[in-house]
A = this chain, B = another copy of it.
């Protein structure tokens, strides 16, 4: 599946461009065929390079989670961004306004009055109103208003206050919760429109359920997915993709085989992270389906071998990580295995942008 690489110091993350581009095209086609705009979440790659590739393939814009990510993407020339987060605090609101002024389109979300009031106060003297979506909790139990009634009330507040434009509704569904999304959004949208307020966008998302994404006769207008570009072990285990659709692998070196049945690699939690996402073991060792990455310290990974596994000191192993998004965030740089052959450095432009 993966060629052996000797020129890269380990541990390192290698992204296969060909696979990533194929993933981009495939899901873009699904959205096109199903009447959905695609607004990829850049949290998975955090690279201007791939954000541009997604837009070139037909994406309507991108999604970020924090202002710092959006700033990094704007610096790279991306001009249509949804920041899917409640923005609070004078420092961040000031940065948000400065960012809006240099963008073609900037949208944020809100799920409560404090956030809405802060946005209004910040943008009431701006040259253009800020587009604000109401975040709805359709069962994901993270942020979001808890009922269509609350969505309607918050939409009215956004419409009534200066500095903002009500842009529609947004949700991050629970896995398998596309039906709940439809029920909630249909009610909320109808109620908002009954108030004489246009509800132009209804944005849903999530990579695990991406192949079930539908517009449902225009109720859902936009889909946000992140992980689909690279995929990972968690999406393989959910049958969302196949191993050959995984564009990223961590290359590690076996540094010790202290006893039979146990090999230590130089990839620990500083690259693989301790995210399990409900799985057993900290990644899939390519070509060794019986091997289990049973434990991680920061700089060590412990592989417990299956009966047919023999690892040797100095040998390289390829690992498909459980969760690719968090691996990317550990790294200032990864390697890009070019479609045309050869390797180049991939700068993770928005790594560690927490604020």
Contacts and interface: CB of A to CB of B under 8 A. Distances in A.
A259 B86 CA distance: 16
A9 B91 CA distance: 7
A312 B287 CA distance: 50
A326 B298 contact: yes
Contact of A313 (B115, B276, B332): B115
Contact of A92 (B9, B65, B259): B9
Contacts of A120: none
Contacts of A137: 258-259
Contact of A85 (B65, B114, B141, B255): B255
**Among A66, A276, A313, residue most surrounded by chain B Cβ atoms (within 10 Å):** A313
Contacts of A326: 269-270, 298
B274 A274 contact: yes
A213 interface: no
Contacts of A270: 326, 329, 352, 354
Contacts of A355: 9-12
B65 A298 contact: yes
Contact of A298 (B11, B111, B325): B325
A257 interface: yes
B88 A253 contact: yes
Interface stretch (A29-37, A142-150, A192-200): A142-150
Given A274-B275, A275-B274, A300 B258 contact: no
Interface in A248-288: 253, 255-259, 262, 264, 266, 269-271, 273-276
A88 B330 contact: no
A55 to B, nearest CB: 22
A101 interface: no
A105 to B, nearest CB: 22
A255 B66 CA distance: 12
Contact of A262 (B11, B141, B313, B331): B141
Contact of A329 (B43, B115, B145, B298): B298
A327 to B, nearest CB: 11
A302 interface: yes
A89 interface: yes
A112 B255 CA distance: 9
Interface residues of A, number: 56
Contacts of A344: none
A92 B137 CA distance: 50
Contacts of A352: 270, 330-332
Interface in A303-355: 313-314, 325-326, 329-332, 352, 354-355
Interface string A12-55: 10000000000000000000000000000001000000000000
Contacts of A274: 273-276
Contacts of A65: 298-299
A297 interface: yes
Contacts of A89: 9-10, 253, 314
Contacts of A313: 86, 88, 112, 114-115
A82 to B, nearest CB: 14
Nearest to A302: B142
7 contacts: A9-B91, A143-B264, A143-B300, A146-B259, A270-B326, A270-B329, A331-B354
User: Top 5 A-B pairs ranked by shortest CB distance?
Assistant: A86-B255, A114-B313, A143-B256, A9-B355, A65-B299
